[in-house]
Amino acid sequence: MRNFLRYQFANLSASFWGVLFLCCACVLVFGIYSQDHVLNLIGAILGVLFAFFAGAGKPICFIFGIFYSVLMIFITFEAKLYIELWLNLFYLPINVIALTLWQKNLNDEKKRVRVHKLTPTALLLVLVGIAILSIALWQIGVAFHAEFALLNSITTVLQIVAFILQTQRYAQHYWLVTLANLIMVYIWLKISLGDFKFIFQFLNSLVFLGIGIYYALQWYKIASEKES
């Protein structure tokens, strides 16, 4: 355990810790200003920690992911958000599996996970699958008169597929995450313009968009260097 923890925090720059602290502080300020529930704040902080350590290629990110999933299972159950509840029930074991997979695929210095890229054919199949699943989920959303049925369907499928690709260490998963984050920024902006109490979710989505774009570039660069 001691060696595991030592490697999780190795080779992280001062700028990493500085930006991580800044993002956590922003999330806290946004949440306190909007008087958000303390459990939502904790969940947001866990989400930021997951995003940063996943971007840095550290398996410990999935420990944060496990705690996040457990917390969200409780929150969504209490709020009777059963679709989100089932999603987090799905994410929980995947986090455990991913922790093991990443731990077995560290670089020689054991400082970060090895990354690679999908082949063009595999990427095309992934995109076709995303399109088919999004359309199917959209039709279900329309049947239940869900708000933003199409956009929510796309983001849900993108996030699930991206998470699965992340467990397999594919760099392209971040482009799916970034697209999902862009859509979520738009959704929360529209909602916030109608009801200011949702401004926390909008600002929080901006934070995650920025994190996703930065690490998308980093992972793709590392994967490209490996191929060259």
pLDDT tens for each residue of 130-162: 999 999 989 988 887 777 888 888 998 999 999
Q: What is the pLDDT of residue 79?
A: 67
Nearest 5°: CA angle at 28, between 25 and 77? 140
Q: What is the pLDDT of residue 3?
A: 64
Residue of 123, 130, 113 lying closest to 62 (CA atoms): 113
Higher pLDDT among residues 200 and 92, named by residue: 92
Is residue 78 very low, low, confident or very high in pLDDT (cuts 50, 70, 90)?
A: confident
CA 28 to each of CA 9, 23, 38, 177, 200: distance values in angstroms, whole numbers, following the listed order = 23, 9, 10, 23, 10
The residue type of 204 is N
Structural domain spans, the chain: 1-112, 115-228
